[in-house]
């Protein structure tokens, strides 16, 4: 049920504080019986003030100027009241006065919401995710400087054209650390981070409209690379006298048979090896990226790798479950392993997680719900990205069907 409210504006002069017959004019804002006074910073001769009409008497130049001024003040106050109502607020006299004086809202700029986001969300985001945000913020600032020749832009000036302009800027931008231009899906990620910050500004009422309302992101569906069973076996069978190659190979295989990401492996210790519901050893921890817990039963390959490095000098020094190595070096050495094994794919450490999801689990009949749990996903839709049926599995399944039909 809608509630009606009473709203009125009254002009009056403070005659008791008149000096040399000159008194200040005030506006009294009243809403539902509550009122507040607003000084208009305007004086009038008390003899020329008409309290009944709330205007200056006469038709002279001075009287007309004052009366035009009062009409303008009244119009602005009414507009402030209407604006507050349109924002689904219940206006109070103080709010109307604050809106009129521009005290209720600061003119926040884009850097304000960037700083607010980084300060308020730092404890909720992983270090890597926050790093991605800072990269996006760097591109946003470069776009503003390039497009508007300034370092600041007000939030209420952001519109649909700003969003489109930022997308076009990214499509033609070439970062120094890239060999080429930014890919479409990476561009969508940068725009997604901008959108999250702008949505935050909208929710905390720094802006009254969302410039992303009409924007539709375009994500290109890409196949996630993984190792086939034969490629995985070729890495397993690799022997090398070079220790760094041997260590990287074992770390990669550990991820292939657990699905644990690089950053999560580097944070594992012996304390993460616990007895599971079946009485066997499980790896139990939580993802650094999301904080979601995961529990993974240990396969024979996994146990052998852990035993191999139990008393290794590097694990003893770091007190980790496995030797520590930087992600950059890891991926660099994986290129060497790919060359040695004759693998033509762009071998990266994250491919091990894809391999676990496809070749190791889904292809061997592990239900997608179980795989989702093992990967630490909160949504089954996230796991479905990995749920591609590989050609070899299609061939085997169709052969079974063929034999069944023939019999």
Q: What is the mean pLDDT of residues 207-226?
A: 85
Tell me the pLDDT band of 104, cut-offs 50, 70 and 90. low
What tokens were used for 216? Answer: 């539709």
What does the radius of gyration of the chain's CA atoms come to, in whole angstroms?
A: 34
Q: Are 179 and 157 in contact (CB under 8 A)?
A: no
Count of CB atoms situated within 10 Å of the CB of 19: 8
What tokens were used for 223? Answer: 């196949």
Angstrom distance (rounded) from CA 28 to CA 252:
74
In Å, the largest CA–CA distance within the chain is 116
Q: What is the mean pLDDT of residues 295-307?
A: 94
Angstrom distance (rounded) from CA 9 to CA 30:
6
pLDDT at 221 (0 to 100): 75
Q: Indicate the average pLDDT of the chain.
A: 89
- Contacts of the segment 340-346: beta carbons below 8 A, 24+ positions apart: 340/238, 340/240, 340/245, 341/231, 341/234, 341/235, 341/238, 342/234, 343/227, 343/231, 343/234, 343/235, 345/225, 345/227, 345/231, 346/225
Determine the 3-state secondary structure of 384 from DSSP: coil
Determine the 3-state secondary structure of 110 from DSSP: helix
Residue 2: pLDDT above 60? Answer: no
pLDDT at 39 (0 to 100): 92
Angstrom distance (rounded) from CA 297 to CA 303:
10
Strands of the 22-31 sheet, one edge to the other: 7-13, 22-31, 34-45
Angstrom distance (rounded) from CA 281 to CA 284:
9
pTM of the entire predicted model = 0.60
Residue 52's closest CA among 18, 24, 115, 10? 10
Determine the 3-state secondary structure of 281 from DSSP: strand
367 or 188, which is more confident = 188
Break the chain into its structural domains and give their ranges.
7-101, 110-203, 229-398
Angstrom distance (rounded) from CA 213 to CA 199:
10
CATH of domain 229-398: 1.10.443.10
Angstrom distance (rounded) from CA 256 to CA 302:
9
Residue 393: pLDDT above 90? Answer: no
Residue 49: pLDDT above 70? Answer: yes
pLDDT at 1 (0 to 100): 38
């Amino acid at each position: 049920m809608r509630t009606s409210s009473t709203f009125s504006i009254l002009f009056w002069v403070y005659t008791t504080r008149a000096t040399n017959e000159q008194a200040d004019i005030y506006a009294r804002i009243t809403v539902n019986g509550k009122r507040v006074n607003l000084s208009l910073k305007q004086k009038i001769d008390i003899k020329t003030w008409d309290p009944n009409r709330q205007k200056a008497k006469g038709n002279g130049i001075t009287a007309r100027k004052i009366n035009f001024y009062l009409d303008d003040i009244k119009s602005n106050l009414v507009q402030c009241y209407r604006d507050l109502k349109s924002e689904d607020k219940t206006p109070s006299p103080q709010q109307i006065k604050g809106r009129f004086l521009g005290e209720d809202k600061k003119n926040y700029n884009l850097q304000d919401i960037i700083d607010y986001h980084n300060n308020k969300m730092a404890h909720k985001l992983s270090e890597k995710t926050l790093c991605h945000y800072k990269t996006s913020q760097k591109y946003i600032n470069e776009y503003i400087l390039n497009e508007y020749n300034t370092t600041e832009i007000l939030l209420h000036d952001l519109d649909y054209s700003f969003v489109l302009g930022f997308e076009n800027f990214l499509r033609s931008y070439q970062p120094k650390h890239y060999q080429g231009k930014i890919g479409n899906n990476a561009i969508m990620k940068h725009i997604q981070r901008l959108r999250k910050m702008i949505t935050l500004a909208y929710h905390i009422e720094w802006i009254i409209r969302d410039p992303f309302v009409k924007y539709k992101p375009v994500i290109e569906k890409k196949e996630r690379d993984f190792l086939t069973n034969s490629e995985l076996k070729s890495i397993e069978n690799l022997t090398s006298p070079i220790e760094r190659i041997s260590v990287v190979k074992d770390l990669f295989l550990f991820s292939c048979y657990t699905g644990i990401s690089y950053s999560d492996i580097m944070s594992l210790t012996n304390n993460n090896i616990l007895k599971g519901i079946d009485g066997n050893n499980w790896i139990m921890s939580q993802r650094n990226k999301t904080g979601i817990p995961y529990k993974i039963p240990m396969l024979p390959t996994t146990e052998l790798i852990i035993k191999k490095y139990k008393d290794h000098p590097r694990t003893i020094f770091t007190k980790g479950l496995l030797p520590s190595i930087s992600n950059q070096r890891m991926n660099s050495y994986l290129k060497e392993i790919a060359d040695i094994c004759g693998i033509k794919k762009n071998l990266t450490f994250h491919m091990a997680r894809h391999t676990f999801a496809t070749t190791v689990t889904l292809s061997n009949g592990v239900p997608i719900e179980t795989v989702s749990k093992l990967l630490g996903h909160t949504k089954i839709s996230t796991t479905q990205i990995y749920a591609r049926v590989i050609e070899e599995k299609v061939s085997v399944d169709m052969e079974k069907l063929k034999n069944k039909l023939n019999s």
